[in-house]
Structure 1
Amino acid sequence: MINAYIKLVAGSVTQEVTLDDVKDLLHYYQEITSKTGSQLDWDYSEHAFPYKITKEQEDYFVLESKDSRYRSIIIGVGKELSGGNTQAYIQVSLPQQSTHGDKGKANEFCKFLGKKFEGELHMFNGRVMYYYKRK
């Protein structure tokens, strides 16, 4: 399993995150992509977000797809001790059975969530993207 993290830092919009916050943003993502599709007269929302939220637990949920190009993505939230402070994060994981399509969609979702929370995105390949204002 490989992981990406969106860490909420001092420059982020908020210092706390819940699964409901993440689900709300994913529903918003579906909404805006469906509007794009209606403007283009194309059913883009099914292609932009080919997943259903399943297996909800206390600190994570699974996105599963019936499309043959996609399988699953796991999204969770947590906290870690960083420099004496507690830092909240969103973890996006790709299980062994995930496809290249899942990795592409997971990267899209990570970037979207990183921008919305103005966080620090640690991508699957180890690179870091900064979405908060740095001094």
Structure 2
Amino acid sequence: MSENAYIKLVEGSEQQTVTLDELKEWFSYYKYITSKTGQQVEWNYSSKAFPYEIKETTEQSQDWFYLASGEDRYKHIILGVSKEKIILDDETEKIQSYIQITLPDSSTYGDKGKANEFCKFLAKKLKGELHLFNGRVMYYYPRR
């Protein structure tokens, strides 16, 4: 059965919406900074740190894409953006954006570890509310 993690963009977040193109840019930036770590230690770390490439389906979906790896311990991670309707404490409704990270049935434990790392990176950069695969919640935004 597939597993999901969510990064919800709440009131205290850096931004209130996110697009698929922005998500792809964050992915590229993450790969870049992990490759810099390899340069500092004089080791080709970029191929191991986050061994994924963006793959898009033929249907050109506007709300998701997947990351595929050619390494033997890694397979797939699916990333998407969406919105949900939430009810606030004062009974008013609000539209809230979120990023969904899905591990399909074919994913490995290596994929789960890399997905957790990337989720934490994104949540920290966006100051979001991270709902991990195990159901726990991490708050990266200033709480009152």
Letter in 1 for 2:7: I
In structure 2, distance between residues paired with 1:23 and 1:55: 11
Show the counterpart of 2:96. 87
Superposed, 1:96-107 pairs within 5 Å as: 96-107=105-116
Paired positions, count: 135
In structure 2, distance between residues paired with 1:49 and 1:123: 19
Superposition deviation, residue 55 in structure 1: 1.9
5+ residue gaps in structure 1? none
Show the counterpart of 2:74. 70
Q: Deviations over 1:94-134 (max 9, x none)?
A: 00000000000000010000001000000000000000000
CA RMSD of aligned residues (A): 0.7
Q: Deviations over 1:42-99 (max 9, x none)?
A: 0111111101100252100010011010000000000000110000000000000000
TM-score between the two structures when normalised by the length of structure 1 = 0.98
5+ residue gaps in structure 2? 88-92
Superposed, 1:15-94 pairs within 5 Å as: 15-56=16-57, 57-83=61-87, 84-94=93-103
TM-score between the two structures when normalised by the length of structure 2 = 0.92
In structure 1, distance between residues paired with 2:38 and 2:123: 23
Letter in 1 for 2:95: T
